[in-house]
Amino acid sequence: MSKKTWVPLLVVFAVMVGAALLALRSVAAQEHHAAVGYEDTPMLPGGKWHVHDGKRPQPKVITPGTCSSQQSPGQPPSDATVLFDGKDLSNWESIKGGPAGWKVEDGYAEVVAGAGDIRTRQEFGDMQLHLEWREPTPPKGESQERGNSGVFLIGAYEIQVLDAYNNITYPDGQTGAVYGQYPPFVNACRPPGEWQTYDIIFTVPRFQNGELKTPAYVTVLQNGVAVQNHSKLLGDTGHRILATYVTKASQGPLRLQDHGNKVRYRNIWVRTLGSNSNE
């Protein structure tokens, strides 16, 4: 056999051996998986799983995202629903009807005063939300008139967006506040012109026959700092009102506020969350 013939054959043989070894490793890994855990341990409440039950479904493997820098947004995790990637607002619409009328350029969307709030076309329930915003610079206005916008969870519950850097306002209207309900634990604002982040875990309210069964809860990290921890919402947020649950819905769109200030947004994504259960 010539050298020309056996060299390719050798390569094919090596590839086949490699594939066989990989398959064996996979089988071995599965066998190892089956052997983990215990079945002689107490049952967890719910009656389906033992403590340390090895047969319990393994959590899905995902690729985590990366952190953003001032220069560029990070990468969302692999199982996120990306709502705005800096290119267009096709996942959004105006609450007045029709396409979202905000400006998109250089990887961000900017509020156009008078264009109105925008909301996602898709609705969400329990969720993890990530978004980034940047306040206008140089700053203009005082108190609530400086860099005001907002993130409305399922369209009804506002986490305030404001330029509260060297800007005093009423505490339950500050950045990181559940508007009109809870001030943030701290003022974690960056100066205007710098990108800031919100990471929000939201549990929707549940209703039964039109009555509130369980309230909404929200946890908020601003720039990596916890500013709300499992805060129990009193109801739909609003200006100069005591909140009550008016919107009796357990899902809705994400809505961003046009308060007349040129706030910019980028890197918006959500992950739908399940609930922990042993059933």
Residues near Mg ion, by CB under 5 A: 148, 150, 257
Residue 223 or 250 having the CB closest to Mg ion: 223
Residue 76 or 255 having the CB closest to Mg ion: 255
Residue 116 or 150 having the CB closest to Mg ion: 150
Residue 228 or 257 having the CB closest to Mg ion: 257
Residue 238 to residue 259: CA distance in whole angstroms = 14
Residue 91 or 148 having the CB closest to Mg ion: 148
In whole angstroms, how close is the CB of 164 to Mg ion at the nearest point? 11
Residue carrying structure tokens 């915003």: 133
Terminal C-alpha separation, the chain: 65
Cβ-based neighbours of 91, under 8 Å, separated by 6 or more = 83, 84, 120, 121, 122
In whole angstroms, how close is the CB of 151 to Mg ion at the nearest point? 9
Residue 76 to residue 64: CA distance in whole angstroms = 7
In whole angstroms, how close is the CB of 111 to Mg ion at the nearest point? 11
Residue 150 or 155 having the CB closest to Mg ion: 150
Cα–Cα distance list, 233 to 50, 134, 154, 185 (Å): 35, 26, 13, 15
Residue 187 or 257 having the CB closest to Mg ion: 257
Query: DSSP letters of 90-131?
Result: TTEEETTSSB---EEETTEEE--TTS--EEESS-BSSEEEEE
H or E, element range at 62: none
In whole angstroms, how close is the CB of 26 to Mg ion at the nearest point? 52
Answer for the pair 175, 164: CB distance below 8 angstroms, yes or no. yes
Q: What residue number has its CB nearest to Mg ion?
A: 150
In whole angstroms, how close is the CB of 189 to Mg ion at the nearest point? 14
In whole angstroms, how close is the CB of 27 to Mg ion at the nearest point? 56
For 240, other C-beta atoms within 10 Å of its C-beta total: 5
Answer for the pair 264, 109: CB distance below 8 angstroms, yes or no. yes
Give the chain's radius of gyration (CA, Å). Answer: 25
In whole angstroms, how close is the CB of 257 to Mg ion at the nearest point? 5
